[in-house]
Amino acid sequence: MTDVRPGYTLLDGPPTVAEYMRLRRETGLSPTTEEQARAGIHGAWRAVRVRHEATGHVVGMGRVIGDGGWYFHVVDMAVLPAHQGQGLGGAVLEHLLTAIRTDAPPGAYVTLMADGPGQPLYARHGFADRAPRTIGMSRRLDGGRHG
């Protein structure tokens, strides 16, 4: 456990499935199914959550997915709107980056997808837009085990 700022505690490990789904929904991240949430939070290379001490509720989170050697991708960066502007997102990101610096071989390649509101935070932590040389691309697959 790490104190982030008075009234908040940074905890290693993912939020519960219900907390994860609530944080995604209430911060405007795309929704997930319970099955996706369960697999995702337990498949992370590293995860962290922020607890509000007065209520005991989880109010923020972040995860890193990756191979543990070269590639690391920061995902699920979220802080509830009522708790934004207090440095919690920066503390989550720095905690995750410190874990990569500490536990991964030197020279790790760290990526993320940045929506508009998060771009200044990521820029302050050394992330830069790589366009036009590199652009982010994505695709959502239909079907799967149940379709």
Provide the residue ranges of all domains of the chain, joining segments of one domain with +: 2-124
Q: pLDDT tens across 23-59, in order?
A: 999 999 998 999 999 999 999 999 999 999 999 999 9
Quote the CA–CA distance of 72 and 68 in Å, as a whole number. Answer: 7
Query: Is the model's pLDDT at 3 over the cut of 70?
Result: no
Q: Tell me, what amino acid is at 31?
A: P
Band (pLDDT 50/70/90 cuts) for residue 146 is low
Share of the chain above pLDDT 90, in %: 79
| pLDDT, averaged across the chain | 92
Quote the CA–CA distance of 146 and 44 in Å, as a whole number. Answer: 23
Distances (CA, A) of 41 to 72, 84, 124: 15, 22, 26
Tokens of 100: 């990569």
CA 24, 81, 50, 102 torsion-angle sign: positive
Query: Is the model's pLDDT at 60 over the cut of 60?
Result: yes
Please give the average per-residue pLDDT across 102-109, as a whole number.
95
3-state percent helix, strand, coil for the chain, nearest multiple of 5: 35, 25, 40
Report the predicted TM-score, pTM, of the whole model to 2 decimal places.
0.91
Quote the CA–CA distance of 71 and 74 in Å, as a whole number. Answer: 10
Quote the CA–CA distance of 114 and 138 in Å, as a whole number. Answer: 13
Quote the CA–CA distance of 73 and 67 in Å, as a whole number. Answer: 9
Share of the chain above pLDDT 70, in %: 95
Quote the CA–CA distance of 94 and 81 in Å, as a whole number. Answer: 20
Please give the average per-residue pLDDT across 6-20, as a whole number.
96
Band (pLDDT 50/70/90 cuts) for residue 144 is low
Query: Is the model's pLDDT at 141 over the cut of 90?
Result: no
Domain 2-124 has CATH 3.30.1540.20: no
Please give the average per-residue pLDDT across 82-91, as a whole number.
96
